[in-house]
Structure 1
Amino acid sequence: MTTWRSKDAPEAPRIGPLGWAVAGVRGLTLGTVTYGSLAVLLALRLVEAPVFRHRRPLSPFVTQFVCRSAFVILGMRYRVRGQPMRERGAIVANHASWLDIFTLNACQRIYFVSKSEVARWPGIGWLARATGTVFIARDPRQAKDQQRVIESRLRAGNRLVIFPEGTSTDGLRVLPFKPTLFQAFYTHGLDHVMHIQPVSVVYRAPEGREPRFYGWWGDMAFAPHFLKSLATLRHGEVEVIFHDPVAVDAFPSRKELARHCEEIVRQGLEQRLAPETR
């Protein structure tokens, strides 16, 4: 799998005694909210699964509550510009951090498309499976099977989120969008009923910290990055920008659709970061 890397090493976490105390309180609170809500979600799934199968009319509200609560617990400002689309379809966004899961779930009820390795991650993999994540293998030989899985979820009415860059970055750039997953939007007539909404996710570092503070990329371990987020006394902010949705059949192929979405997402990121990088 392709992994984005920076030439410069990321900022090393610096945690003092107060930071450790704050991390402990926040971690305990977030864990209680997350796993307490997970018990509620699993109970709801016992009702949903046999009746609605892939459709989940109730449990996504629990996920959304947890993700909104996370920003309150962290003390991180959260802003939304634009509106989630009402049309049937999917979301494509830039990918900067594990925080993207909370960021995008907090403002709408969605399901992520993620690499298959995540399903095996301790703790996180279990949560991802419980919340309906679609896992795919980054193997060209399995492309057809992956497309069928995505198509079935879309036909069930699930709003999927795809990160077409294929890797996370430092949050200051948008990598070229890979068009492979866009092919699922063109199968068996889906292109005539589907819309795609490009979304830009913009992180602003805490005052005095480097701009890449929230980025999580390359071989960076999850635990230290998560701990740094818990221990930071004064957080920055994240902004979600919903751009105008586009009809899939307005583009002759997945490549044209991917290029359009990439351009829109990149413009959104650059425009919102521009005042801070002059």
Structure 2
Amino acid sequence: MSHAVLAPPAPGSHPWMPVSPCGDHCLPGPGEEPRVGAARRALRLGALFLVMLSGVPIAVVYPVLGARGRQWLARAWFRTVLRAVGVRLVVQGERRFAARGRGALVVSNHCSWLDIVALDAVQPVRMLAKREVRKWPVVGWFAAVAGSVFVDRERLSTLPATVDDLAAVLREGGLVGVFPEGTTWCGAASGRYRSAPFQAALDADVPVRPVMVRYLVGGAPTRSVAFVGTDTLWHSVRRVVGLRGLVVEVEPLPELPARSAPDRRALAALAQQLVAAATRRGDAPGPRPERAAA
């Protein structure tokens, strides 16, 4: 998971480091969206703390389980995280990203730390994550145990090896989750999909599964979950647990065969177009399509 920044890339980083114009100015002001009371916020924070604690023994037993047991346990744990912070998960359309044992590159828009929770709550994937995530309490440990691939975004020289690692996972029938924008956006705007991860799908000859993730409060899109600007993880969590009626919609879009585009750049652009079109369709006024509660 990545975090948007307003400043230019840090000294010593490469000029292709992903940046986003989104920041604190994108977040709703006080009183703009319905909030829960202090007692409900405290209960949610307490529930989240207990769920995080449960991740420790789960991470210990996780490696010794079979593939089906790992999938079930990870999916259940991430769904419990959503329930703890007061988020309702709704899955539109297909209920899985790919059949069990079939490799696919799962690509999604990116605005929050909740994105990875929502994706894994539908079907657990091995995420491509920035190396800083590994240091996050419990979540980083769990991500490492679950087989996440960590990338050093400041060292462009490591990118070919990372792509090779992703391709190896895909060839073995694994699901790899990637946020191709490379950093978080507020949701009202989005970034260009970087093409490098799509090379892994081409090398492994597996399909790309675009996925649209959207957050709603009272049936309308919300930017309150965006993890942007000067936000810390703690401040973002506190803002999320204070929202009333937060829903995350996850919509798997039509699968793209690896050879449906002439090269990785065209494949990335096609996936980006599909996600953007689904986002615009969901944000349009008028009756919303019937949702399948997950």
Give me the whole-angstrom Cα distance separating, in 1, the residues matched to 2:166 and 2:92.
Answer: 28
What's the counterpart of residue 237 of structure 1?
Answer: 247
Cα distance, 1:58 vs structure 2: 2.4
Matching of residue 214 in structure 1 with residue 232 in structure 2:
no
- Give me the whole-angstrom Cα distance separating, in 1, the residues matched to 2:115 and 2:105: 16
The corresponding residue for 2:160 is 144
CA deviations on 1:219-271 (whole Å, 9 max, x unpaired) are 32110110122233x22211111111111022221011101000000001111
Q: 1:251 aligns with which of 261, 271, 278?
A: 261
Matches of 2:86 and 2:250, distance apart in 1: 17
Residue 27 of structure 2 is aligned to residue 10 of structure 1: yes
1:205 paired residue number: 217
1:112 and 2:127 equivalent?
A: yes
Equivalent-residue separation in structure 2 for 1:125 and 1:107 (angstroms): 19
The alpha-carbon deviation at position 206 of structure 1 amounts to 4.9
- Are the aligned partners of 2:62 and 2:145 in contact in 1 as well (CA < 8 Å)? no
Please report the RMSD computed on the Cα atoms of aligned residues, expressed in angstroms: 2.5
In 1, the alpha carbon distance for the partners of 2:282 and 2:145 equals: 34
Q: Residue 264 of structure 1 corresponds to which residue in structure 2?
A: 274
Which stretch shows the higher mean deviation, 36-45 or 160-169? 36-45
CA distance, structure 1, for counterparts of residue 81 and residue 245 of structure 2: 13
Preserved contact between residue 212 and residue 250 of structure 2 (Cα < 8 Å): yes
Aligned residue in 2 for 1:224:
235
- The counterpart of 1:33, out of the listed 34, 37, 51, is 51
TM (norm. structure 1) is: 0.84
Query: Aligned partner of 1:148: which letter?
Result: D
Which SS does the other structure have where 1:77 is aligned?
A: strand
Looking at structure 1, the residues matched to 69 and 171 of structure 2 have their Cα atoms a distance apart, in angstroms, of: 18
Q: Tell me which protein shows more helix as a share of its residues.
A: 1
Structure 2 gap ranges (5+): 1-16, 287-294
Q: Is the Cα contact below 8 Å between 2:127 and 2:149 reproduced in 1?
A: yes
Aligned length: 261
Counterpart code for 1:25 = L
Distance 1:124 1:219, change over 3 A: farther
Q: Which residue of 2 aligns with 1:90?
A: 105
8 Å CA contact 1:170–1:216 kept in 2: the answer is yes
Aligned AA for 1:34?
A: M
TM-score if structure 2 supplies the norm length?
0.80
| Alignment match of 1:43 (pick from 33, 53, 61) | 61
Asked if the contact 1:60–1:131 (Cα under 8 Å) also holds between the matched residues in 2, the reply is no
Equivalents in 2 of 1:104, 1:210: separation in Å?
A: 18
Distance 1:59 1:11, change over 3 A: same
Matched, 1:196 2:208: yes
| Inter-CA distance 10–75: structure 2 relative to 1 (3 Å threshold) | closer
Question: Whole-Å Cα distance in 2 between the matches of residues 13 and 135 of structure 1?
Answer: 36
Structure 1's unaligned 5+ residue stretches are none
What does residue 59 of structure 1 align with? 70
Could you say which residue in structure 2 is the equivalent of 1:168? 184
Deviation at 1:39, TM superposition (A): 0.7
- Give the Å deviation of 1:169: 0.8
What is the one-letter code of the residue matched to 2:60? L
**SS at 1:4's partner residue?**
coil
Q: Larger deviation: 222-231 or 162-171?
A: 222-231
Deviation at 1:9, TM superposition (A): 5.2
